Every structure is written in structure tokens, then in C-alpha cells.
């Protein structure tokens, strides 16, 4: 299994991108332009104060569908500059166009990204053979390790176990961010491959970790990174009583951030904490006063200080 570039330091090959990663938001200014200084500040905050050893940049929560390629390059560049080798920076490069995804992957490698994330192509509804060709083409295009992002609620098409087994034969396809909600499929994939699994659905963090996931790519990690690190450590120590306690304490946070689309409310939460966030871009809409009031109650119940 490949590892990130040596500059990120020696890592357990079972978890090539670390344990706690945020699916990082893209801060915006009030006029809707990308806030590059804010992106630097937020990235440094997550790594230096919130127990993150990785960041996923330009993913779903980063509002990648509404960022231009130039904006995505700029965000990746400033995040890399902000955190250096203190964290693994994973660049989201997946689109529903294989050629475009390859171009983005090569851009990310040139900028110094440590790894790539490729989401299942959306809207096209490719067959499994198309998925395999798409993912391996991206992996062939650079020397960087690749995390596949399996999220059929957004892409419609799941990555089937047999396809994941074939993809795992590629030396640079090393991990999966799972937001499929199919625990038996995860168990079978883990039994048949050495892919490193990362929970991509916060409400399923505990069961995925119990099955053998090695970490999380989290939205709520913006707010509770140290507690997610504690959850992972408890599972790995075999202390399921403590793991359940931590997970139960996080349930109001999971619920609160996902009462509507996750980027909307995690940006609202960051704003309440005085951290860079800004508005979301259309077709997303900012949280209403009522939604922010409910978010305050949810986060307070979950022990998040605002």
C-alpha cells in the first residue's frame, strides 16, 4: 500500500492519511468570493488546535461543484502553505468527466498535494466497468495515493464490492471514504482487500470503526476533532463502553449539523465560533435565524462551546 509523500512523516501504512480528517469548508467573503486568508487560518486552526492529522480540500463540504478550477487550485495552494507537512492534505479531484478529473489530479500533484480523493461520477450513472476505468485512469495519471469516495446518495451508483476488489489491485488506490450506509458491503470489502476505510458519514462513525475503519473524513470534525480522536482511540483499544459513551455524547452534534445540508450548518457553527466561514454559494442557501437557533441548542446539548 502506498503512503503519502515522505514529507508528511512516517505513518502507519494501515491508515495512509491519518485518523481524523475534516472535509474542510471553503471560507467565503460576504460578497461570495473565496476567502483565501480565511482558508489558511481555518486549516491551521484545525491542524494545530483541533487534533486533525489530515484535511480534505475541495470536496463536497468545500462546495467544489460551485468552485472554478482556478479557485480550487488557489484553495489547495494556500492550505498546503498553511499546514505544510503537519498534516496530510488530500485534494478532491473527482468529477463526472474522467478527462477533467485527470487534469485536476495532475494540477493537484504539481501544487504539492499529498493525496487525491475521487468521488463516484455523478449524473452519468456509469456501469461498474466504467467506474473501474474512471478510478484507475485517475490513479494512473499521477504518483499520488488515491482515496475513492463512495456516496450513492449523491452519485446514485454505488461502488460494488467486486469493483472495489478490482480497484484495490491498483498500487495507488489505497483507501475509501465510505458514505454508502451499507455495513455488510464494508465488511466484505475489508475482508477481501487491504483498502483503508474512512467513515464519510458522521452518524455511522462508530459502527464503521468497529468494522475496521481506520479513521474519519468528517464534517463535524470542524467542531469536535479531539472527541473524534478519542472515539477512534477507544475503539482501537477495545474499550467499546468508552467508545459508546463518546459516540452518544456526539449524537446531538451529528443531528444538529445535518438538519439541513452539512456545509450550510457547519459554516454557521464556525461563524458562531468566530472562525472563517462566510456564506455558501447558490444553489445552497445560508441558514435561517431559526436554523441557527436550533443549531445553538443542538451544539450546546452536544457539549460544543460557542
Q: What is the dihedral of CA 65, 69, 75, 78, to 10 degrees?
A: 170
Name which of 164, 209, 170 is nearest 188 in CA terms.
Answer: 164
Active site (annotated) includes residue 123: no
- The catalytic position among 177, 180, 197, 198 is 177
The CA angle 237-242-246, to the nearest 5 degrees, is 115
Backbone Cα Rg of the chain:
18
Hey, how many other C-beta atoms are within 10 angstroms of the C-beta on 256? 25
Helix axes 69-83, 98-111, angle to 10 degrees: 30
Sign, CA torsion 244/250/251/257: negative
Residue 177 phi, psi (nearest 5): -95, 115
Sign, CA torsion 67/71/77/82: negative
- The catalytic position among 122, 125, 149, 198 is 149
Q: Is the distance from CB of 120 to CB of 151 less than 8 angstroms?
A: yes
Active site (annotated) includes residue 177: yes
Give the residue numbers annotated as catalytic, written as ranges.
149, 177
Amino acid at each position: 500500500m502506498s503512503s503519502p509523500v515522505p514529507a508528511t512523516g512516517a505513518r502507519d501504512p494501515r491508515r495512509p492519511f491519518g485518523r481524523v480528517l475534516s472535509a474542510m469548508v471553503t471560507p467565503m467573503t460576504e460578497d461570495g468570493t473565496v476567502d483565501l486568508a480565511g482558508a489558511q487560518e481555518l486549516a491551521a486552526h484545525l491542524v494545530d488546535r483541533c487534533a486533525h492529522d489530515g484535511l480534505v480540500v475541495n470536496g463536497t463540504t468545500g462546495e467544489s461543484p460551485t468552485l472554478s478550477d482556478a479557485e480550487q487550485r488557489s484553495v489547495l495552494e494556500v492550505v498546503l502553505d498553511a499546514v505544510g507537512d503537519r498534516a496530510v492534505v488530500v485534494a478532491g479531484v473527482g468529477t463526472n468527466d474522467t478527462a477533467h478529473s485527470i487534469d485536476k489530479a495532475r494540477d493537484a500533484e504539481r501544487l504539492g498535494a499529498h493525496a487525491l480523493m475521487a468521488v463516484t461520477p455523478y449524473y452519468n450513472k456509469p456501469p461498474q466497468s466504467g467506474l473501474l476505468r474512471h478510478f484507475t485512469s485517475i490513479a494512473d495519471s499521477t504518483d499520488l495515493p488515491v482515496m475513492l469516495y463512495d456516496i450513492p446518495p449523491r452519485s446514485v451508483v454505488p461502488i460494488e464490492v467486486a469493483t472495489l476488489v478490482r480497484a484495490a489491485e491498483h498500487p495507488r488506490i489505497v483507501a475509501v471514504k465510505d458514505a454508502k450506509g451499507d455495513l455488510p458491503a464494508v465488511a466484505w470489502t475489508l475482508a477481501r482487500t487491504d483498502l483503508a476505510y474512512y467513515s464519510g458519514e458522521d452518524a455511522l462513525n462508530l459502527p464503521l470503526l468497529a468494522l475496521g475503519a481506520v479513521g474519519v473524513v468528517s464534517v463535524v470534525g470542524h467542531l469536535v476533532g479531539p472527541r473524534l480522536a478519542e472515539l477512534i482511540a477507544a475503539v482501537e483499544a477495545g474499550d467499546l463502553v468508552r467508545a459508546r459513551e463518546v459516540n452518544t455524547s456526539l449524537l446531538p452534534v451529528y443531528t444538529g449539523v445535518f438538519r439541513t445540508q452539512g456545509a450550510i450548518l457547519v459554516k454557521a457553527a464556525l461563524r458562531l465560533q468566530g472562525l472563517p466561514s462566510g456564506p455558501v454559494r447558490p444553489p445552497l442557501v445560508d441558514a435561517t435565524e431559526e436554523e441557527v437557533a436550533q443549531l445553538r441548542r443542538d451544539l450546546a446539548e452536544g457539549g460544543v462551546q460557542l
